Structures are given as structure tokens and as C-alpha cells.
Chain A
């Protein structure tokens, strides 16, 4: 492997990890501040100017708390669960393109840990594994409240993942790619060919469904079934203390950050902004990254805004909304999108039909040639027929 590629990627990994943790830490402060402002209060302002040292104080407090493991807890799983929650939360950020590629010392550096071609699938996969941290934590605590919370959360996350998946399929249909980098690139600029380029203007319904489902995936109010403080004490982390509890809470904030980033990338054009064609090179990269983070912070704010506005859904209302409203809506949206795409740029469109016939005529001989060339290696039935 190219050594400079290794250095480049590991730098991005370390920087991204630090940024993720830093943002997650300051989200705790932001959450408390936003809550305070919306309730006509001041919020934490004692640790440093405007309370900016509050996250450090909270973290320090967490480290010095007694790390208690209940006698009847499943010890191994009890210790594993917070780590699992944190790991899955932090892994998801790998496929998000944080800015336009940088041209530097004769090579193009993508501001992304891994541009894998199944990026979206990877995100959904890790979001699904994310439920294990909560489930294992709730079960290993050997406490009925934790278990209740774990059961509720896992059923909630499984239910809402369906609608989320269907919405993502809609987006994938429109872009024709599972790679997050490609999806973001296709939303270049703001206005092109007489219409907005950002997906939110093309798929407003999909955006609303995605926002609601990601609220549910992050276990945030109004879907915070995981830690109904007034019914289930602390929910799945009732028995946790010290930094294990800190990890759970931290993982939640990392999830929130990643969700906001994914919404920004999939629907709000990622690092693209109006008038981006006037810039180039390193300026564009810096501006694009800043724009992306601004969008992410805005969506973090929206998540908090919703949390401090709405009361919690009841469990049956939650299931009703998920299964009877969001999934059918997402399905209808998907079918309409598919039909429109099929008739404008897909199989049934005029130019595609013409292109397809040309392609078939051209491809036919080459395909046979290819088969003939590796006939000895493969010895396939069809190639033998050609002989």
C-alpha cells in the first residue's frame, strides 16, 4: 500500500475522531443552553465564560465517580455494552464526505475516511448494530426497568429502520449510487437546469420521513423510549455509573452528530453551497467543509429544538406512527419516484430506449470476445458452444 495514502487516511481518521468527540462533548453544553433559552433560563454559565468549560467539568466528574457493577449483572456484557454503543456510534462517520476533495502536493485528497461504494448501506448497517449496545446494556443490568427500556428501544429502532431504509432507497434511486460521496456530488451548487439541486427540494416528503425516523433512531425526544426518565428511571443505563454511563450518553450525542451530518449530506447538499463555482482549490475545500459543519450544527440544533418542544409519544402511538403512517408514506413516495424516474430517465423514456438498443448492438461482439478470451480458464458452457 502507498505509504502516503496510509498517512493521509490515518490523519483524517484521527482528526475526524477528535472532531467527533469534541462536537459530542460540546453538544452536551449546547443541549443545556438551548433547553435553557427555550425555557427563559440562562443555562450553565459558571465554568469559564458562558460555561464553555462545562463539558470538561462534566467529564472530570464522570471519571471520578465510583464505577459500580451490580452483583447480579452479567459482568462481561455489562462492561462490553457501553463500548459497543460508543464504537458503533463513532464508526458511522467514516463514509461521510466532510468537504470537497483537496488538491495537495500533486494528489487529490478526499476529505472522507473511506469512499466505499456501498456507503449508505454501511451507515444503515452500523445504525442497526447501534441497538446492540442498548440491548446488551439493558439486559446485562439484570434490572426490570433496564430490560423494559431495552425491549422498547430495540422494537422502536427496528420499526423505524424500515421507513428509513425505504426513504434511503428513494434517494439511491434518484442518484443511482450507494456511495455518499457520489450522492453529495450530484447535489452540486444550488440551482441547475431550472431547478434546485439539493435532494430536499426534490424529495420533501422523504426528508420529513427521514428526519422523523432519525429522531427515533437516535432515541431522542419525542421518541425517547430508551430512557423514559419518569417511568423507567434512566432506562437502559439505570444501573450504570461513572464513565460507563458517560460512554452511553456520549454515544448518544455522537449518534446525534452523525445523524445530523447524514441529513445534511443526503438532503441538504453536504458541502455544496450556492455560488460554490466562484471558488476553487483549497479555498473551496475550506469553505465547503465549513458549510457542511454549519449545516450539521443547524440540524443538531433542530434535533434539540424538537426535543424541547414536544412531549414524548406513548408506546402505542409510536408504533402506530411508524408502521401505519411512515412506512406506507415512504412506500408511496418510493413508487411514485420510481415511476417518474422510469419515464424520464429510465427504461421507459424515449432516449434511454434508443440508447439501450445501440448499447446492446455494440456490446454484443465484445461480450463474446471476452468470453472467448478466458474460455480456457473458466471453461464455461456458453463459451464452449461458441467453439
Chain B
């Protein structure tokens, strides 16, 4: 079979030559190697002081976005729930009443919107399915908890607050949106 890379090595059980059977030259070569490494820059990231930057494609805790006027983008169409391979998303749709135009962007909105973070596999399909640019995965980590119930995130924890917007520009420039 033809080799695709040049990394292939043929294993043989030939007798060692005298120099090889002395071990010492190879041992010294190995020691020279480890000695050189003593002067290399360490690859360590000193965690509490330094934190490693997330990759731009990192998929962490979800956010439900609002538009520029602070209205929720989500229209409870359910495409994310359909797309979700882990069945982690559920929602209840409701109709926007008169006087709620500053809260919801369109006539239909999600009364409840829950993501079970234990079920979620953070694949990002909900984000791809969303036609309204409402749900995004962010570079935030889902915090731990002792109770399973704590991992079902409702709207209170998913919708971004008006004064504290979550930056999702990194997500918008990567993946399928980046290619456009």
C-alpha cells in the first residue's frame, strides 16, 4: 500500500549494533534533549491570574437576544426545539397584547422558554435554526449546581437584560454567518 505521509516507519527486529547496545550514546542524546527543554518557555497558563481565551467558535451558555429597542427577538416559532437533537428546549407561545409592543418585537412571543442544560449538548443547531436571530450560544460557562432543577434555565436566566447586553459578535462572524 502506498504511503500518504512520510511518517511511516517499518518495524524490524534486527540485532542492535555494538554502539546501540552500549545504550550510552542514545542516553546522552536523550539527556541533551531534556536539558534543552529546561530553557524552553513554559506552556503553563497560571490559571487564577491568567485565563486562557476561548476559541471564537466556542459554544457555551445560551442567550436570548433583544433587538436595539430592547424588545425580545424570539417569536416562539419552535424551530430551535425541533432542531434540537437532545430535546433540551421547550417553550409555550403567547400572543402579544396591546401595550406590550415595547417588550416583544412581533405579535407572537415566548411566554416560557426553557433549556435543560443537562440535556443540552451545545451543538449550536438551535442557533442555526433560528430565523429571528434570537438564540445564540455564548462564551459563558454554565455554572455548576447541586440540584438538577437548577439546570433548567428559564427566561429569567436566558434573556439578556437591557442594560447588560451579551456580546455575540464573535458568533455572528464565525460558522455559517461568517462565510456569507
- With A and B bound together, what is the CA distance between A40 and B34 in angstroms? 10
User: Are the C-beta atoms of A309 and B33 separated by less than 8 Å?
Assistant: yes
User: Are the C-beta atoms of A40 and B37 separated by less than 8 Å?
Assistant: yes
Give me the interface of B with A, judged by CB distance under 8 Å.
24, 27, 30-31, 33-35, 37-38, 40-44, 46
Residue of A nearest to B35 (CB): A305
A115–chain B nearest beta-carbon distance, Å: 35
- With A and B bound together, what is the CA distance between A305 and B35 in angstroms? 8
User: Are the C-beta atoms of B40 and A309 separated by less than 8 Å?
Assistant: no
Q: Which 7 A-B pairs have the closest CB atoms?
A: A37-B38, A42-B44, A38-B34, A309-B34, A309-B30, A40-B40, A42-B42
- Chain B hits for A39, CB < 8 A: 37
Name the interface residues of A12-41: CB closer than 8 Å to any CB of B. Answer: 34, 36-41
Give me the interface of A with B, judged by CB distance under 8 Å.
34, 36-42, 208, 305-306, 308-310
User: Are the C-beta atoms of A305 and B46 separated by less than 8 Å?
Assistant: no
User: Are the C-beta atoms of B31 and A40 separated by less than 8 Å?
Assistant: no
- Chain B hits for A208, CB < 8 A: 24
- With A and B bound together, what is the CA distance between A39 and B41 in angstroms? 10
Report how many A-B pairs have Cβ atoms within 8 Å.
35
Residue of B nearest to A34 (CB): B38
- With A and B bound together, what is the CA distance between A310 and B27 in angstroms? 7
- Chain A hits for B30, CB < 8 A: 309-310
- Chain A hits for B38, CB < 8 A: 34, 37-38
Residue of B nearest to A36 (CB): B42
A223–chain B nearest beta-carbon distance, Å: 13
User: Are the C-beta atoms of A41 and B37 separated by less than 8 Å?
Assistant: no
- Chain B hits for A41, CB < 8 A: 42-44
User: Are the C-beta atoms of A306 and B31 separated by less than 8 Å?
Assistant: yes
User: Are the C-beta atoms of A42 and B46 separated by less than 8 Å?
Assistant: yes
- With A and B bound together, what is the CA distance between A42 and B42 in angstroms? 6
B13–chain A nearest beta-carbon distance, Å: 15
10 contacts between A and B (CB under 8 A): A37-B38, A38-B34, A38-B35, A39-B37, A41-B44, A305-B34, A305-B35, A306-B27, A309-B30, A310-B27
Could you say which of A36, A37, A309, A310 has the most chain B C-beta atoms within 10 Å of its C-beta? A309
- Chain B hits for A40, CB < 8 A: 37, 40-43
B81–chain A nearest beta-carbon distance, Å: 46
A333–chain B nearest beta-carbon distance, Å: 15
Residue of A nearest to B37 (CB): A38
Question: Known contacts being A42-B42, A208-B24, is A37 close to B31, with CB within 8 Å?
Answer: no
A270–chain B nearest beta-carbon distance, Å: 25
A220–chain B nearest beta-carbon distance, Å: 14
- Chain A hits for B46, CB < 8 A: 42
- With A and B bound together, what is the CA distance between A179 and B74 in angstroms? 90
Residue of A nearest to B24 (CB): A208
- With A and B bound together, what is the CA distance between A41 and B45 in angstroms? 9
- Chain A hits for B31, CB < 8 A: 305-306, 309
- Given A41-B42, A309-B33, A309-B34, 12 new contacts (CB under 8 A): A34-B38, A36-B42, A37-B37, A37-B42, A38-B34, A38-B37, A40-B37, A40-B40, A40-B41, A40-B43, A42-B44, A306-B31
- With A and B bound together, what is the CA distance between A305 and B31 in angstroms? 7
B75–chain A nearest beta-carbon distance, Å: 51
- Chain A hits for B34, CB < 8 A: 38, 305, 308-309
B30–chain A nearest beta-carbon distance, Å: 5
